[in-house]
Amino acid sequence: MSTQRYSVAPHPIETLLTWVKSGDIAIPEIQRPFVWDATKVRNLLDSLYQGYPIGYLITWRNPTIRLKDGTSAAGKRILIDGQQRVTALMAALLGREVLTKDYETVRIRIAFHPQEERFEVANPAIRKDAAWIDDIADVFSPEAKIFQLVGDYCGRNPGTTQDAVFGSIGKLLKIVNNHVGIIDLADDLDIETVTEIFIRVNSAGAELSQADFAMSKIAVNESYGGNLLRKAIDYFCHLAVAPEFLSRIEKSDKAFAQSEFLPQMRWLKDVSDDLYDPTYTDMLRVAFTSEFGRGKLQDLVALLSGRNFETKQFEESIAEDAFSRLKKGIVAFINKNHFDRFTMILRSAGFVTSDLIGGRNAVNFAYILYLRGRAEKLPAADLERIVRRWYVMSVLRGRYTGSPETAFDLDIRQVAARGLLGYAESVVENELPESFWIGMLPQLMDTSSAQSPYFLAYKAAQAKLADKGFLSKDISVLDLLLNRTDVHHVYPRNHLKKQGLSRGRYNQIANFVLTQSEINIAIGDKQPEQYFDELAEQCKGGKRRYGGIVGVDEMKTNLRISCIPERMLDGEIPAYDDFLEERRRLMALKIKRWFDTL
């Protein structure tokens, strides 16, 4: 027989708002941003006015932490589900500002028409219209004098009766008496269970939910500076994308501006590089795994709650230590020298733009390896080499695409047990044997996805190996990637479409080369037999149609570095499928040659 681990009770919205005002329910200032648009807030108010239900909220108090004197105390309620609704009520009824997904602090004003009993989002036209009360927060203000408010309204609207206006405004005020069902999770639930509940009610198991839950745990903690740490994580992520946001932090968040964190991230104001713009999930994964030697974020939530994994009890000293170590991990993450050196390592492998960065978790674990190596004081050259090789291996083998947390946990524990260099080298060797390059990789490259890790690796290889663009005399692939590149179909797309080939067939990555746009345009839809014949003529003193190469040897060298069979210049044009098979093999060998240089 199952035991119910929660209680359900209706509470007036007024009680809910009292909890918000007193700080008893955790709606941290910079928790997950408010993502509803203003019309959803209006619809919520209308539902309450009509007496409709607005769904359940789910709350859970911080687990009981054993204090030094042996007593225990429950913490604030954490809102597990319903933040957007509660934030909407705060905004509309209490007049609180909200933080949008664009990190803008705004007031959402909902207007009310007492005669027509309807709500609208306030706008300039409504504000000029005497028939509207342009902000219902004025009605709910403790200073509001309802008789005066009604009298003023009727004075502005001749023909209205005070009784009718009193009636509709009275009905509006009574919405705070409406009950909302609140599911309180049992205080003694373990962290794993609450995490599972959180995941299920929020996003059907999306991995980000565990990070959201961890962020809520961090944000509501004031004893060990979690509230400031939460801001450090969020602000860093936003500054990485929008450096101009720094001035807004300095003006609107004086407490954070004076904290130890802002000086450590000021360097972002001068950064335009977007090679690695981390999300808060990325930061948590990297900081937690590198510092704690664990890979599962639910373990972070447990430790921040003071969970002793052996006794299953909650201890204050464990929570204090966890916050201290997490802070250390975050500070290491945002360190300018660490961040710059790590992105430099990625660039040195040929991943010169964010477009070439595929799996985010592969980047995250590469940064974890870098931070661990720094902490272990590995020689810089050894560390750079293994980070490059590990990243490429994990991308090519999809190491973190299926169950990233499980893979993170396995790898970081093995790093601790066997040593970073020894473990990393053995994994790379086992994952990328000779048979991978010759047999498996060419098969994996049978794909039409231009975002496949194999094509991204091929482009990085060309950048690192200083290859010239297809048919280019002077323009390198690196130049093309950093500026503007066209992906040209060696066997032109329309030429293949006319033969009845499907999109998945003519868009094979083995049919793609990187070239200048003018060369791509000049070739157009010409079948390869025609333009390769014209290339041969160009090398014999004929008209220059495609690029500036005029010598046979130089042209064949260019074809070779683009993994195009050189015999095509001699008029030997293979059937399309044969071409694809041969080119996949040549591309795989180029990727191997590149990997061997890393």
User: Does residue 230 fall inside a structural domain?
Assistant: yes
219/179 same-domain check: no
417/481 same-domain check: no
Per residue in 349-396, pLDDT (tens digit) is 999 999 999 888 999 999 999 999 999 999 999 999 999 999 999 999
What is the pLDDT at residue 68?
41
User: Does residue 54 fall inside a structural domain?
Assistant: yes
Residue 168: give the domain boundaries: 6-61+71-185
Tell me which residue of 109, 151, 140 sits closest to 126, measured CA to CA.
109
419/446 same-domain check: no
User: Does residue 223 fall inside a structural domain?
Assistant: yes
- What is the rounded CA–CA span in Å between residue 594 and residue 432? 13
User: Does residue 1 fall inside a structural domain?
Assistant: no
167/311 same-domain check: no
Q: What tokens appear for 80 in the block?
A: 């597990």
Last residue of a domain, one of 387, 408, 432: 432
220/152 same-domain check: no
By three-state DSSP, how is residue 213 classified?
Answer: helix
What is the pLDDT at residue 64?
55
Residues written for the chain: 598
Q: What tokens appear for 431 in the block?
A: 């994952």
Last residue of a domain, one of 432, 455, 483: 432
CA torsion, ordered 348, 351, 353, 358, to nearest 10 deg:
-150
Cβ atoms of 126 and 165 within 8 Å: the answer is no
- pTM for this one? 0.78
Cβ atoms of 350 and 460 within 8 Å: the answer is yes
151/181 same-domain check: yes
- What is the rounded CA–CA span in Å between residue 365 and residue 395? 11
395/468 same-domain check: no
Per residue in 175-189, pLDDT (tens digit) is 999 999 888 888 777
Q: Provide the 8-state DSSP code for 181.
A: E
Helix residue spans in 95-181 (DSSP H): 124-128, 137-140, 146-156, 162-173
| Number of Cα atoms under 13 Å in the Cβ half of residue 580 | 18
What is the pLDDT at residue 1?
40
- What is the rounded CA–CA span in Å between residue 209 and residue 203? 7
What is the pLDDT at residue 457?
97
114-143 burial, b if ≥16 CB within 10 A, otherwise e?
Answer: beeeebbebeeebeeeeebbbbbbebbeee
548/592 same-domain check: yes
What is the pLDDT at residue 71?
47
By three-state DSSP, how is residue 392 classified?
Answer: helix
Cβ atoms of 44 and 219 within 8 Å: the answer is no
Tell me which residue of 88, 360, 82, 394 sits closest to 237, measured CA to CA.
360
Cβ atoms of 491 and 579 within 8 Å: the answer is yes
What is the pLDDT at residue 195?
62
267/405 same-domain check: yes
Whose tokens are 């490059």? That residue is 388
Tell me which residue of 347, 225, 214, 345 sits closest to 283, measured CA to CA.
214
Based on C-alpha coordinates, what's the Rg of the chain?
31
Q: How far apart are the first and last CA of the chain?
A: 59
Last residue of a domain, one of 185, 201, 233: 185
Question: Residue type for 191, please?
Answer: I
User: Does residue 459 fall inside a structural domain?
Assistant: yes
373/450 same-domain check: no
Burial of 404 from C-beta contacts in 10 A (0-12 / 13-18 / 19+): buried
User: Does residue 109 fall inside a structural domain?
Assistant: yes
User: Does residue 437 fall inside a structural domain?
Assistant: no
CA torsion, ordered 516, 521, 527, 528, to nearest 10 deg:
-20
Write out residues in the chain with pLDDT < 70, as ranges. 1-3, 26-34, 62-76, 101-104, 190-192, 194-196, 198-209
User: Does residue 66 fall inside a structural domain?
Assistant: no
The rounded mean pLDDT for the chain is 89
377/519 same-domain check: no
Number of domains in the chain: 3
Tell me which residue of 26, 25, 40 sits closest to 108, measured CA to CA.
40
465-484 burial, b if ≥16 CB within 10 A, otherwise e?
Answer: bebbbbbbeebbbbbbbeee
340/477 same-domain check: no
